[in-house]
Chains A and B, each alone.
Chain A
Amino acid sequence: EAGVAQSPRYKIIEKRQSVAFWCNPISGHATLYWYQQILGQGPKLLIQFQNNGVVDDSQLPKDRFSAERLKGVDSTLKIQPAKLEDSAVYLCASSFSVNQPQHFGDGTRLSIL
């Protein structure tokens, strides 16, 4: 079974630029999550989708972050404009349903200069 795929693996941008990350969940997984992991910390949930609907985006900084999962499969997370404090690893995870274990991709490491 293929795992959660994310791209790119690394991204370096300057502050105030925009960036987008892509995630393809495990086939058949209805629930998709985006997490932010700052160096030395555990992951923190940014947004959770159930199929193509948002279940929880309470921790998403909506003035600069946006995410979509239009067809209920792939998802993109965008930051515009980026700030220095957005430097982190952005992890995508998926689960078969809400109450099933979450499986993670390898993440995108974002550095803001």
Chain B
Amino acid sequence: GEDVEQSLFLSVREGDSSVINCTYTDSSSTYLYWYKQEPGAGLQLLTYIFSNMDMKQDQRLTVLLNKKDKHLSLRIADTQTGDSAIYFCAESLGGATNKLIFGTGTLLAVQP
């Protein structure tokens, strides 16, 4: 079945790197996404990676994909207090609908 799992909570100090992990089950996933959700807001698209890539870098963000282990990670360099939010991993199933399956989210708390 389709399932995406994330750890619930991560706490880091300002200036450190944060690594948020995600595992998924569907081997036919085409794209994998990272979204950020701040309190009372919708989901902001951060970055995404095509399933035939193993790494993507975008400014402070680095996405690593291990397709064999179905493991995705998001690294945030030089984490700032403004990065405090819930981070959602999502896999897209492709096909006619390209449906997204979301994880339960990881709450990132950045300590000053």
Contacts and interface: CB of A to CB of B under 8 A. Distances in A.
Interface of A: 4, 6, 40-45, 48, 55-56, 91, 93, 98-99, 101-107, 109
Given A42-B90, A42-B105, A102 B100 contact: yes
Contacts of B100: 43, 45, 102
Interface stretch (B42-50, B67-75, B76-84): B42-50
A56 B99 contact: yes
Interface of B: 4, 30-31, 33, 35, 40-45, 48, 88, 90, 94, 96-100, 102-105
Contacts of B40: 106, 109
A45 B103 contact: no
Given A42-B103, A101-B48, A56 B41 contact: no
A103 B45 CA distance: 7
A101 B34 CA distance: 11
Given A45-B99, A55-B97, A104 B44 contact: yes
A46 to B, nearest CB: 11
Given A6-B42, A93-B43, A102-B100, 20 more contacts: A42-B88, A42-B90, A42-B103, A42-B104, A42-B105, A43-B88, A43-B102, A45-B99, A45-B100, A56-B99, A98-B97, A99-B30, A99-B98, A101-B33, A101-B48, A104-B44, A104-B45, A105-B42, A106-B41, A107-B42
